[in-house]
């Protein structure tokens, strides 16, 4: 009885964003991508910029992102999203342009593109999902894989002697004068999701100031690739990824 | 007057990842023993009376299948 009193339209405090298309996402249960897509849709809805936003979707698990959020999209070749975003933003300087890329996309094949786009200070927002693995292709080692972490191509654990150290892209990007905002966030807890949403709002708002690139890294999980349950993966991420990829603002000139 | 909440889970869309259960401060949610049409043990409010409508579960849900209502009763 009490439940029916509470369950009224006026008491609704949280519901799915209207920008999220009614379609079941293809991601594994508990994947961080779904949470980030949701925050992205909520950010665009809150800012009221649905008609003025153009997203660049990547190659990787999030390749079908254009099927999930109701805005305009372009699909880039692997790693080339910043180059495409540069073109879109220069043709339409009043639109809000963002790229959404994983670590295999941005930190490996697309390192050249992202560094030069940030160095030019392109007025775009970059969303970088770092789950330390190539999730889509079967859990191979990525440039961001932790030392000692087992993947299908480093079955004895990654060793820096053979394959180098985990690359800290956000710290590298933050050194470039073209970047106005560089931050690292996560989406494992409700408070982390709230902080990440604030970072999204700030990054999209910063495009209005036309000062330079805003860059958001999200430390994420890949429970299928890591061979864990989603909840275990979140705990593993806090214990092992946060010491190497500490969460927080790295540069803020807005 | 106490703040009470009600959650509504879209059972057929839930993938049973359990992230909501880990984030629920009042241990309201649990995974069901039965499965939905796609074979997942879906989340459901096991202790509905303890819900405060904090929205944590809905915020962390990767598939956004939870709607939250909150009122003073």
Sequence spans of domains, chain A = 27-252
**Cross-strand pairs, A54:** A72, A97
User: Which residues does chain A have within 8 Å of residue B5's beta carbon, measured at their own beta carbons?
Assistant: 6, 13
| pLDDT of A254 | 86
For testing contact with chain B, the best of A1, A2, A3, A25 (most B CBs within 10 A): A3
Average confidence (pLDDT) over A171-186: 96
For residue B59, what are the domain limits? Answer: 3-72
| A49 — pLDDT class (breaks 50, 70, 90) | very high
* Rounded CA separation A107/A79 (Å): 8
What is the least distance, in Å, from the CA of B32 to any CA of chain A? 15
Percent pLDDT > 70 in chain A is 100
What is the least distance, in Å, from the CA of A132 to any CA of chain B? 19
Model confidence over A105-136: pLDDT tens digits?
Answer: 999 999 999 999 999 999 999 999 999 999 99
For testing contact with chain B, the best of A6, A62, A188, A226 (most B CBs within 10 A): A6
| pLDDT of A227 | 95
The CATH number of domain A27-252, selected from 3.40.50.970, 2.30.30.790, 1.10.260.30, 1.10.10.410: 3.40.50.970
| pLDDT greater than 80 at residue A146 | yes
CA-to-CA separations, A197 to A43, A46, A177, in angstroms, rounded: 7, 11, 25
For testing contact with chain B, the best of A10, A11, A14, A35 (most B CBs within 10 A): A14
Angle at A222 between CA A216 and CA A225, to 5 degrees: 140
What is the least distance, in Å, from the CA of A177 to any CA of chain B? 34
Average confidence (pLDDT) over A183-197: 97
Q: Of all helices (H) and strands (E), which one includes residue A86? A: helix A81-91
A190–B56 CB contact, under 8 Å: yes
| pLDDT greater than 70 at residue A1 | no
CATH number of the domain enclosing B33? 3.30.70.20
Total count of domains within chain B: 1
| Helix, strand, coil tally for chain B in percent (to 5) | 20, 35, 40
| pLDDT of B23 | 95
Average confidence (pLDDT) over B37-49: 95
Average confidence (pLDDT) over A226-233: 96
A230–B8 CB contact, under 8 Å: no
| pLDDT of A191 | 96
| pLDDT greater than 80 at residue A9 | yes
- Residue B64: which of A7, A38, A229 has the nearest Cβ? A38
| pLDDT greater than 90 at residue A46 | yes
Average confidence (pLDDT) over B11-17: 95
* Rounded CA separation A228/A148 (Å): 17
- Residue A230: which of B6, B17, B59 has the nearest Cβ? B17
Mean pLDDT (chain A, rounded): 95
Model confidence over A72-102: pLDDT tens digits?
Answer: 999 999 999 999 999 999 999 999 999 999 9
Average confidence (pLDDT) over B13-31: 95
Query: CB-based contacts of A247: which residues, under 8 Å, 6+ apart?
Result: A184, A185, A186, A192, A219
């Amino acid at each position: 009885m009490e439940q029916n009193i509470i369950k009224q339209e006026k008491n609704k405090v949280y519901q799915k964003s209207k920008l999220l298309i009614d379609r079941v996402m293809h991601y594994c249960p508990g994947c961080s991508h779904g949470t980030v897509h949701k925050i992205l849709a909520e950010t665009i809805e809150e800012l009221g910029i649905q008609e003025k936003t153009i997203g660049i979707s990547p190659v990787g698990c999030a390749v079908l992102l254009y099927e999930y959020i109701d805005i305009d999209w372009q699909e880039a070749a692997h790693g080339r999203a910043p180059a495409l975003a540069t073109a879109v933003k220069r043709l339409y300087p009043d639109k809000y342009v963002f790229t959404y890329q994983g670590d295999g996309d941005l930190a490996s094949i697309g390192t050249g593109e992202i560094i030069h786009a940030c160095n030019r200070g392109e007025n775009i927002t970059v969303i970088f999902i770092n789950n330390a693995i190539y999730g889509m292709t079967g859990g191979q080692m990525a440039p961001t894989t932790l030392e000692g972490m087992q993947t299908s191509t480093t079955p004895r654990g990654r060793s820096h002697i053979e394959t180098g150290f985990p690359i800290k892209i956000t710290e590298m990007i933050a050194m470039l004068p073209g970047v106005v905002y560089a931050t690292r966030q996560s989406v494992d807890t409700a408070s982390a999701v709230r902080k990440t949403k604030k970072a999204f709002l700030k990054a999209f708002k910063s495009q209005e100031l036309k000062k330079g690139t805003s860059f958001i890294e999200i430390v994420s999980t890949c429970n299928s690739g890591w061979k864990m349950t989603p909840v275990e993966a979140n705990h593993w991420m806090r214990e092992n990824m946060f010491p190497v990829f500490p969460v927080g603002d790295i540069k803020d000139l807005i | 007057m106490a703040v009470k909440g009600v959650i509504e889970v879209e059972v057929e869309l839930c993938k049973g990842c359990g992230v909501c259960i880990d984030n629920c401060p009042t241990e309201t949610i649990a995974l069901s023993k039965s499965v939905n049409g796609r074979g997942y043990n879906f989340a459901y409010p096991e202790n509905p009376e303890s819900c405060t409508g904090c929205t944590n579960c809905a915020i962390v849900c990767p598939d956004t299948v939870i709607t939250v209502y909150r009122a003073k009763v």
